[in-house]
Amino acid sequence: MERQTDPLLDVSEEIATALAERRPVVALESSLITTDPSSETASLIEKAVRDAGAVPATIGIAGGRLVVGLTDTLIEQFSATKGIPKISARDIGAALAGGGLGATTVAGTIVIAERAGIKVFTTAGIGGVHRRGQDTLDISPDLLQFRRTRMTVVCGGAKSILDHRLTAEYLETAGIPVFGYRTDRLPAFVVREADVSVRRMDDLHTAARAAEAHWEVNGPGTVLLTNPIDEQDAADEDLVETAIADALARCDRDGIAGNAVSPYLMKALAGASGGMLPRAGLSLLLSTARVAGEFSVALSTVRAGR
Q: pLDDT-based confidence at 2, cuts 50/70/90?
A: very low
Confidence at residue 56, expressed as pLDDT on a 0 to 100 scale: 98
> What global pTM score does this model have?
0.94
Examine the pLDDT at 222 and tell me if it is beyond 90. Answer: yes
Catalytic option among 46, 119, 159, 294: 159
Examine the pLDDT at 30 and tell me if it is beyond 50. Answer: yes
Catalytic option among 29, 46, 114, 193: 29
Per-residue HEC secondary structure of the chain comes to: CCCCCCCCEEECHHHHHHHHCCCCEEEECCHHHHHCCCCHHHHHHHHHHHHCCCEEEEEEEECCEEEECCCHHHHHHHHHCCCCCEECHHHHHHHHHHCCCEEECHHHHHHHHHHHCCCEEECCCECCEECCHHHHCCECHHHHHHCCCCEEEEECEECCCECHHHHHHHHHHHCCCEEEECCCECCECCECCCCCECEEECCHHHHHHHHHHHHHHHCCCEEEEECCCCHHHCCCHHHHHHHHHHHHHHHHHHCCCHHHHHHHHHHHHHHHCCCHHHHHHHHHHHHHHHHHHHHHHHHHHHHCCC
Confidence at residue 276, expressed as pLDDT on a 0 to 100 scale: 78
Q: pLDDT-based confidence at 271, cuts 50/70/90?
A: confident
For the residues 31-52, what does the mean pLDDT come to?
86
Confidence at residue 259, expressed as pLDDT on a 0 to 100 scale: 77
Q: pLDDT-based confidence at 36, cuts 50/70/90?
A: low
Whether 241 is catalytic: no
Examine the pLDDT at 289 and tell me if it is beyond 90. Answer: yes
How far is residue 120's CA from residue 11's CA, in Å, rounded to a whole number? Answer: 16
Whether 159 is catalytic: yes
Examine the pLDDT at 1 and tell me if it is beyond 50. Answer: no
pLDDT per residue over 238-257, tens digit each?
A: 888 898 899 999 998 999 88
Examine the pLDDT at 23 and tell me if it is beyond 70. Answer: yes
Mean pLDDT of the chain: 92
Domains of the chain and CATH, by start: 1-118 (3.40.1790.10), 119-306 (3.40.1790.10)
For the residues 139-150, what does the mean pLDDT come to?
95
For the CA atoms of 40, 62, 159, 45, what is the dihedral angle to 10 degrees? -30
Q: pLDDT-based confidence at 38, cuts 50/70/90?
A: low
